[in-house]
Amino acid sequence: MTTATPLIIAIDGPAASGKSTLGLRLAHALDYLFFDTGVMYRAVTWLTLERGFDIDDETAITLLAEKTHIDVAPASAPDGRACDVLVEGQDITWETRLPDVDASVSRVSAYRGVRSALSRQQRRIGLRGKVVMVGRDIGTVVLPEADLKIYLDASAEQRAMRRYHEILLRGGAADYSEILSKVIERDRIDSTRDVAPLKAADDAVIIDSDQMDADAVFEKTLALCR
Protein backbone atom coordinates (compact mmCIF):
# COMPACT_ATOMS: atom_id res chain seq x y z
CA MET A 1 0.00 0.00 0.00
CA THR A 2 1.38 3.44 -0.82
CA THR A 3 1.10 6.28 1.66
CA ALA A 4 0.93 9.98 1.02
CA THR A 5 2.54 10.87 4.37
CA PRO A 6 5.61 13.00 3.66
CA LEU A 7 8.87 11.27 4.61
CA ILE A 8 10.90 14.41 5.17
CA ILE A 9 9.21 17.31 6.95
CA ALA A 10 11.04 20.63 7.30
CA ILE A 11 9.91 23.27 9.80
CA ASP A 12 11.63 26.64 9.62
CA GLY A 13 10.90 29.99 11.21
CA PRO A 14 12.20 32.71 13.53
CA ALA A 15 13.19 32.35 17.21
CA ALA A 16 10.47 31.13 19.56
CA SER A 17 7.82 30.71 16.88
CA GLY A 18 6.89 27.30 18.31
CA LYS A 19 8.85 25.15 15.86
CA SER A 20 10.14 22.73 18.48
CA THR A 21 6.75 22.25 20.13
CA LEU A 22 5.16 21.57 16.77
CA GLY A 23 8.02 19.40 15.51
CA LEU A 24 8.10 17.25 18.62
CA ARG A 25 4.34 16.61 18.57
CA LEU A 26 4.37 15.86 14.88
CA ALA A 27 7.29 13.46 15.23
CA HIS A 28 5.48 11.62 18.04
CA ALA A 29 2.25 11.43 16.05
CA LEU A 30 3.99 10.04 12.96
CA ASP A 31 6.59 8.00 14.85
CA TYR A 32 9.37 9.98 13.13
CA LEU A 33 12.71 11.21 14.41
CA PHE A 34 12.58 14.76 15.79
CA PHE A 35 15.74 16.71 15.00
CA ASP A 36 16.11 20.28 16.23
CA THR A 37 19.12 21.59 14.28
CA GLY A 38 19.37 24.71 16.47
CA VAL A 39 20.89 22.60 19.24
CA MET A 40 23.95 21.93 17.07
CA TYR A 41 24.61 25.66 16.62
CA ARG A 42 24.01 26.09 20.33
CA ALA A 43 26.48 23.29 21.15
CA VAL A 44 29.25 24.90 19.08
CA THR A 45 28.49 28.27 20.69
CA TRP A 46 28.62 26.79 24.19
CA LEU A 47 31.94 25.11 23.41
CA THR A 48 33.34 28.37 22.03
CA LEU A 49 32.49 30.20 25.26
CA GLU A 50 33.59 27.28 27.45
CA ARG A 51 37.04 27.19 25.80
CA GLY A 52 37.33 30.96 26.11
CA PHE A 53 37.64 31.50 22.34
CA ASP A 54 36.99 34.93 20.92
CA ILE A 55 33.51 34.96 19.37
CA ASP A 56 35.01 36.83 16.37
CA ASP A 57 37.58 34.09 15.73
CA GLU A 58 35.86 32.48 12.74
CA THR A 59 38.78 30.18 11.92
CA ALA A 60 39.01 28.65 15.40
CA ILE A 61 35.24 28.29 15.72
CA THR A 62 34.96 26.66 12.29
CA LEU A 63 37.62 24.16 13.31
CA LEU A 64 35.62 23.41 16.46
CA ALA A 65 32.49 22.76 14.39
CA GLU A 66 34.41 20.46 12.07
CA LYS A 67 36.22 18.47 14.76
CA THR A 68 33.69 18.18 17.58
CA HIS A 69 31.42 15.20 17.84
CA ILE A 70 27.93 16.54 18.50
CA ASP A 71 25.13 14.10 19.05
CA VAL A 72 21.42 14.41 19.64
CA ALA A 73 19.64 11.58 21.43
CA PRO A 74 16.11 10.96 22.75
CA ALA A 75 15.44 12.75 26.07
CA SER A 76 16.98 10.76 28.94
CA ALA A 77 15.36 12.77 31.76
CA PRO A 78 11.78 14.00 32.27
CA ASP A 79 12.92 17.57 32.98
CA GLY A 80 11.30 19.38 30.08
CA ARG A 81 14.03 18.68 27.53
CA ALA A 82 13.01 17.77 23.96
CA CYS A 83 16.17 15.71 23.47
CA ASP A 84 19.65 15.23 24.92
CA VAL A 85 22.49 17.28 23.47
CA LEU A 86 25.86 15.55 23.78
CA VAL A 87 29.28 17.00 23.05
CA GLU A 88 32.03 14.38 23.05
CA GLY A 89 29.67 12.25 25.13
CA GLN A 90 29.00 14.96 27.75
CA ASP A 91 25.36 15.94 28.36
CA ILE A 92 25.17 19.72 27.80
CA THR A 93 21.42 19.96 27.16
CA TRP A 94 20.72 22.75 29.63
CA GLU A 95 24.04 24.53 29.06
CA THR A 96 22.90 25.18 25.47
CA ARG A 97 20.01 27.25 26.85
CA LEU A 98 22.16 29.60 28.95
CA PRO A 99 21.63 33.34 28.29
CA ASP A 100 25.27 33.68 27.14
CA VAL A 101 24.66 31.05 24.45
CA ASP A 102 21.41 32.79 23.43
CA ALA A 103 23.28 36.05 23.05
CA SER A 104 26.06 34.64 20.83
CA VAL A 105 24.51 31.78 18.85
CA SER A 106 23.45 33.91 15.88
CA ARG A 107 27.00 35.27 15.49
CA VAL A 108 28.46 31.77 15.45
CA SER A 109 25.80 30.39 13.11
CA ALA A 110 26.51 33.10 10.54
CA TYR A 111 30.00 31.66 9.88
CA ARG A 112 30.13 29.90 6.51
CA GLY A 113 32.45 27.08 7.67
CA VAL A 114 30.35 26.37 10.75
CA ARG A 115 27.22 26.16 8.60
CA SER A 116 28.74 23.86 6.04
CA ALA A 117 30.11 21.48 8.73
CA LEU A 118 26.80 21.27 10.56
CA SER A 119 24.53 21.29 7.48
CA ARG A 120 26.43 18.32 6.06
CA GLN A 121 25.69 16.27 9.18
CA GLN A 122 22.07 17.42 9.24
CA ARG A 123 21.53 16.50 5.59
CA ARG A 124 22.99 13.02 6.07
CA ILE A 125 20.56 12.34 8.92
CA GLY A 126 17.60 13.94 7.12
CA LEU A 127 18.02 11.91 3.97
CA ARG A 128 17.33 8.73 5.93
CA GLY A 129 13.70 9.90 5.95
CA LYS A 130 10.94 9.62 8.56
CA VAL A 131 12.24 12.81 10.08
CA VAL A 132 10.86 16.13 11.27
CA MET A 133 13.75 18.57 11.02
CA VAL A 134 13.49 22.01 12.60
CA GLY A 135 15.66 25.08 11.97
CA ARG A 136 16.10 28.19 9.86
CA ASP A 137 17.31 26.83 6.51
CA ILE A 138 16.04 23.27 6.32
CA GLY A 139 13.56 23.79 3.48
CA THR A 140 15.84 26.20 1.61
CA VAL A 141 19.36 24.73 2.00
CA VAL A 142 19.72 21.58 4.10
CA LEU A 143 16.89 19.53 2.60
CA PRO A 144 15.39 21.40 -0.35
CA GLU A 145 13.82 18.09 -1.45
CA ALA A 146 11.71 17.87 1.74
CA ASP A 147 8.23 16.55 1.00
CA LEU A 148 6.50 19.05 3.27
CA LYS A 149 7.88 22.45 4.24
CA ILE A 150 6.31 24.54 6.97
CA TYR A 151 7.37 28.11 7.73
CA LEU A 152 6.07 28.94 11.18
CA ASP A 153 5.82 32.63 11.88
CA ALA A 154 4.46 34.92 14.63
CA SER A 155 4.97 38.53 15.63
CA ALA A 156 8.09 39.33 17.68
CA GLU A 157 5.84 40.41 20.58
CA GLN A 158 3.94 37.14 20.62
CA ARG A 159 7.14 35.11 20.40
CA ALA A 160 8.82 37.08 23.19
CA MET A 161 5.72 36.60 25.37
CA ARG A 162 5.84 32.83 24.83
CA ARG A 163 9.53 32.67 25.70
CA TYR A 164 8.86 34.83 28.78
CA HIS A 165 6.22 32.38 30.04
CA GLU A 166 8.49 29.41 29.26
CA ILE A 167 11.20 30.84 31.52
CA LEU A 168 8.74 31.62 34.32
CA LEU A 169 7.33 28.11 34.07
CA ARG A 170 10.83 26.69 34.52
CA GLY A 171 11.11 28.77 37.70
CA GLY A 172 13.49 31.36 36.25
CA ALA A 173 13.38 35.15 36.38
CA ALA A 174 12.58 36.97 33.15
CA ASP A 175 12.22 40.50 31.83
CA TYR A 176 9.77 40.73 28.92
CA SER A 177 11.23 43.81 27.24
CA GLU A 178 14.75 42.42 27.44
CA ILE A 179 13.57 39.15 25.84
CA LEU A 180 11.76 41.09 23.11
CA SER A 181 14.84 43.09 22.16
CA LYS A 182 16.97 39.92 22.07
CA VAL A 183 14.43 38.14 19.86
CA ILE A 184 14.41 41.09 17.46
CA GLU A 185 18.20 41.21 17.38
CA ARG A 186 18.51 37.46 16.71
CA ASP A 187 15.90 37.72 13.91
CA ARG A 188 17.88 40.56 12.37
CA ILE A 189 21.15 38.62 12.33
CA ASP A 190 19.51 35.36 11.17
CA SER A 191 17.63 36.93 8.28
CA THR A 192 20.35 39.26 7.00
CA ARG A 193 23.37 36.94 7.06
CA ASP A 194 25.02 36.07 3.71
CA VAL A 195 24.90 32.30 4.12
CA ALA A 196 21.54 30.51 4.33
CA PRO A 197 19.53 33.42 5.74
CA LEU A 198 16.23 32.78 7.47
CA LYS A 199 13.46 32.90 4.88
CA ALA A 200 10.51 30.82 3.74
CA ALA A 201 11.18 28.42 0.84
CA ASP A 202 9.10 29.23 -2.24
CA ASP A 203 7.15 26.01 -1.79
CA ALA A 204 6.68 26.30 2.00
CA VAL A 205 3.27 26.50 3.64
CA ILE A 206 3.38 29.63 5.76
CA ILE A 207 1.54 29.42 9.08
CA ASP A 208 1.11 32.57 11.13
CA SER A 209 0.50 31.44 14.70
CA ASP A 210 -0.35 34.83 16.22
CA GLN A 211 -4.02 33.91 16.46
CA MET A 212 -3.51 30.14 16.83
CA ASP A 213 -2.61 28.11 19.89
CA ALA A 214 -0.23 25.13 19.78
CA ASP A 215 -3.10 22.65 19.29
CA ALA A 216 -4.47 24.52 16.29
CA VAL A 217 -1.03 24.72 14.63
CA PHE A 218 -0.50 21.02 15.25
CA GLU A 219 -3.90 20.01 13.82
CA LYS A 220 -3.36 22.15 10.75
CA THR A 221 0.07 20.63 10.09
CA LEU A 222 -1.12 17.09 10.71
CA ALA A 223 -3.91 17.65 8.18
CA LEU A 224 -1.25 18.76 5.65
CA CYS A 225 0.64 15.52 6.30
CA ARG A 226 -2.38 13.37 5.65
- Residue ranges that bind ligand CDP, judged by CB under 6 A: 15-16, 37-38, 41-42, 105-106, 109, 135-137, 186, 190
Q: How is the beta sheet containing 131-135 ordered, strand by strand?
A: 33-36, 131-135, 8-12, 148-153, 205-208
Looking at the Cβ atoms of 73 and 226, the one nearer to ligand CDP is 73
Tell me how far, at minimum, the Cβ of 153 lies from ligand CDP, in Å: 12
Tell me how far, at minimum, the Cβ of 93 lies from ligand CDP, in Å: 12
Q: Is 59 helix (H, G, I), strand (E, B) or coil?
A: helix
Tell me how far, at minimum, the Cβ of 226 lies from ligand CDP, in Å: 26
Looking at the Cβ atoms of 30 and 193, the one nearer to ligand CDP is 193
Tell me how far, at minimum, the Cβ of 220 lies from ligand CDP, in Å: 20
Q: Is 9 helix (H, G, I), strand (E, B) or coil?
A: strand
Looking at the Cβ atoms of 206 and 226, the one nearer to ligand CDP is 206
Q: With contact defined as beta carbons under 8 Å apart, do 151 and 207 qualify?
A: yes
Residue 18 gets the label, from left (phi > 0), alpha (psi -120 to 50) or beta, of: left
Looking at the Cβ atoms of 136 and 149, the one nearer to ligand CDP is 136
Beta-ladder partners of 72: 85
Tell me how far, at minimum, the Cβ of 4 lies from ligand CDP, in Å: 27
CB burial of residue 11 (10 Å; 0-12, 13-18, 19+): buried
Between helices 38-50 and 99-108, what is the axis angle to 10°? 110
Q: What are the φ/ψ torsions at residue 117 (nearest 5 degrees)? A: -65, -45
Report DSSP state, residue 89.
T
Looking at the Cβ atoms of 30 and 136, the one nearer to ligand CDP is 136
Tell me how far, at minimum, the Cβ of 152 lies from ligand CDP, in Å: 10
Looking at the Cβ atoms of 41 and 151, the one nearer to ligand CDP is 41
